[in-house]
């Protein structure tokens, strides 16, 4: 493709009296519009077999086709939105080759790039895919720039209004390598997942942080409250540091259930391989007990049997018993939902699957964008309510009549 003569460009620049780069970008957009419109005029001439206002003889029996004005179309490009005039013919047979009749060119490409990005593909792999699909060369840097355009959308989603009441809220963290001050550090993405009053899952937000603490969780919970959450019946976590104090400060009526599965893993970390099966079997007698009294009897028996050999394991259960035994206050259908954080662990497994090709992120916003796009992709498949939700809801209404009514 031949470049425009420099003398022509020089005369054009003199005539425009540019005073800023914004003026130059606007002029480039107008030039883009003028060029693409001229290309379509030439295409129309070829379609009709003659130039504008030129008469031609049509073969006998064939209806002559004419120009029929213009239609307007907005094309999204890397320069921004550009409105162009598309020539029309009376028979409606002309279709622009440079921009397809129903195509928005760069817009469709950008949507495809974001879809591939949401699947966890690397920038380089995305560039190769776009080359195969559109026969267009793009750089990995352009992929990053396109993904950066959705940051306002990410911010709006993270700050969107929430429902006033959530029966259950699950919290967990997933760790990633993020570049900071020219080195990669491990940061946690704290994911908050809520169960709504109609029994459906919703990701309430994702927070990026280095060190969890009561102050960190206080900020998260206050943010949930400022977005409209007035009440949460029960928080389910994996023993995140400082959680209990934060909950009591923001939602004093809420209870906390520590995940039993996480508790088993952490408390048996140093149990000998030869004893692990028996220790786990004895622990199962505790959390599968029918009543709280029975569970406490099993805890006493567990302590008598294993305290001498594994004191730290026994101590962990005894010290955390208040937040481990909360689920005994609820009927069986509710216990199945709250005694473990399997719901949010399943979500984090999907996050890991999507981000497995991204060993690290250039900054916090890069990680936020990826997890936002992944969240939207995952939530599209969340249609069903929690199992036996009609029974669960009726039991919640009996247990919390004033809170469910409000």
Please check whether residues 197 and 286 belong to one and the same domain. yes
Q: Identify whether residues 123 and 258 lie together within a single domain.
A: no
3-state secondary structure of 25: helix
In a domain, 3, yes or no: no
**Does residue 4 belong to any structural domain of this protein?**
no
Give the chain's domain count.
Answer: 3
Indicate the angle between helix axes 140-148 and 364-379, nearest 10 degrees.
70
Question: Which tokens is 273 given?
Answer: 């391989």
Expressed in angstroms, the distance from the first to the final Cα of the chain is 69
Domain final residue, candidates 69, 84, 104: 104
pLDDT value of position 291: 93
Report the C-alpha gap between 395 and 377 in whole angstroms: 33
- Within-domain flag for 18: no
E strand or H helix that includes residue 9: helix 6-16
- Given this model, what pLDDT does residue 103 score? 47
Q: What is the pLDDT of residue 101?
A: 43
Residues 57 and 181 in one domain: no
- 91 located within any domain: yes
Q: List residues bridging with 235 in a β-sheet.
A: 169, 256
Task: Tell me how far apart the alpha carbons of residues 287 and 260 are, in angstroms, rounded to a whole number.
Answer: 8
The pLDDT value given to residue 135: 65
Same domain, 100 and 168: no
Does one domain contain both 173 and 63?
A: no
Angle between helices 342-355 and 364-379 (to 10 degrees): 120
Does 397 lie in the same domain as 275? yes
The structure tokens listed for 218 are 């206080």
Question: Do 72 and 85 meet the contact criterion of CB atoms below 8 Å apart?
Answer: yes
Domain contains 7: no
- DSSP letters of 237-295? ES--TTHHHHHHHH-TT-EEEE-HHHHHHHHTTTS-TTTHHHHHHHHHHHHT-SSHHHH
d(CA 386, CA 392): 9
Give the residue from 93, 125, 149 where a domain finishes: 149
Please name which of 172, 243, 191 lies closest in space to residue 213, comparing C-alpha atoms: 243
Asked if the structure places residue 8 within a domain, the reply is no
Range of the domain at 365: 163-405
2 occurs within a structural domain:
no
Q: What is the pLDDT of residue 55?
A: 47
Here the tokens at position 129 are 């895919």
For residues 377 and 384, what is the distance between their CA atoms, to the nearest angstrom? 16
Domain shared by 253 and 307, yes or no: yes
pLDDT tens digits in sequence order for the chain, 406 residues long: 555 556 766 766 777 777 777 777 777 777 777 777 787 788 778 777 755 544 445 555 556 777 888 888 777 666 677 888 888 888 777 777 766 543 444 456 677 777 777 776 777 777 777 777 666 677 777 777 777 788 889 999 999 999 999 999 998 888 899 988 889 898 888 899 999 999 999 999 999 987 667 788 889 999 999 999 999 999 998 776 778 888 999 999 999 998 888 899 899 998 999 999 999 999 999 999 999 999 999 999 999 999 999 999 999 999 999 999 999 988 888 888 887 767 888 888 888 888 887 778 888 998 898 899 889 988 988 888 888 899 999 998 888 887 765 5
Do both 176 and 83 map to the same domain?
A: no
Clarify whether residues 123 and 257 are in a common domain: no
Same domain for 169 and 286:
yes
The helix/strand/coil state of 202 is: strand
270: left (phi over 0), alpha (psi -120 to 50) or beta: alpha
Domain membership of residue 230 (yes or no) is: yes
H-assigned helices in 78-150: 106-118, 123-134, 140-148
Same domain, 187 and 84: no
Phi, psi of 289, rounded to the nearest 5 degrees: -60, 155
CB 161 within 8 A of CB 227: yes
Closest C-alpha among 185, 123, 154 to residue 375: 154
Q: Are residues 223 and 275 in the same domain?
A: yes
């Amino acid at each position: 493709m031949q470049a425009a003569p420099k003398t022509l460009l020089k005369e054009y620049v003199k005539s425009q009296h540019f005073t800023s780069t914004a003026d130059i970008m606007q002029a480039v957009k107008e030039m883009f519009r003028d060029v693409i419109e001229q290309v379509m005029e030439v295409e129309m001439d070829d379609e009709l077999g003659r130039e504008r206002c030129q008469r031609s003889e049509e073969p006998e029996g064939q209806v002559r086709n004419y120009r029929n004005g213009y239609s307007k179309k907005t094309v999204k490009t890397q320069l921004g939105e550009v409105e162009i005039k598309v020539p029309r013919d009376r028979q409606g047979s002309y279709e622009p080759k440079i921009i397809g009749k129903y195509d928005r060119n760069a817009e469709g490409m950008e949507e495809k790039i974001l879809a591939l990005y949401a699947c966890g593909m690397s920038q380089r792999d995305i560039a190769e895919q776009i080359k195969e699909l559109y026969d267009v060369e793009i750089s990995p840097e352009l992929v990053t720039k396109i993904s950066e355009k959705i940051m306002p959308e990410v911010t709006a989603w993270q700050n969107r209004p929430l429902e006033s009441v959530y029966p259950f809220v699950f919290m967990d963290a997933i760790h990633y390598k993020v570049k900071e001050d020219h080195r990669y550090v491990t940061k946690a993405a704290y994911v908050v997942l809520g169960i709504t009053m109609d029994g459906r899952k919703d990701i309430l937000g994702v927070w990026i942080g280095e060190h969890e603490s009561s102050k960190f969780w206080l900020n998260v919970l206050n943010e949930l409250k400022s977005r409209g959450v007035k009440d949460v019946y029960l928080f389910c976590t994996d023993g995140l540091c400082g959680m209990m104090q934060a909950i009591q400060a923001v939602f004093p009526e809420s209870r906390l259930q520590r995940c039993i599965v996480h508790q088993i893993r952490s408390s048996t970390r140093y149990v000998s391989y030869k004893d692990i099966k028996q220790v786990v079997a004895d622990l199962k007698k505790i959390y599968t007990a029918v009543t709280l009294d029975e569970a406490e009897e099993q805890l006493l028996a567990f302590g008598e049997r294993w305290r001498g050999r594994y004191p730290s394991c026994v101590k962990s259960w005894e010290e955390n018993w208040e937040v481990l035994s909360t689920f005994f206050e609820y009927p069986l259908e509710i216990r199945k939902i709250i005694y473990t954080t399997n719901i949010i662990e399943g979500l984090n497994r999907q996050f890991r699957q999507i981000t497995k090709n991204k060993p690290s992120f250039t900054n916090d916003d890069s990680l936020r964008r990826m997890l936002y796009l992944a969240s939207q992709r995952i939530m599209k498949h969340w249609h069903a309510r929690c199992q036996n939700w009609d029974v669960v809801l009726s039991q919640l209404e009996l247990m919390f009549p004033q809170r469910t009514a409000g």
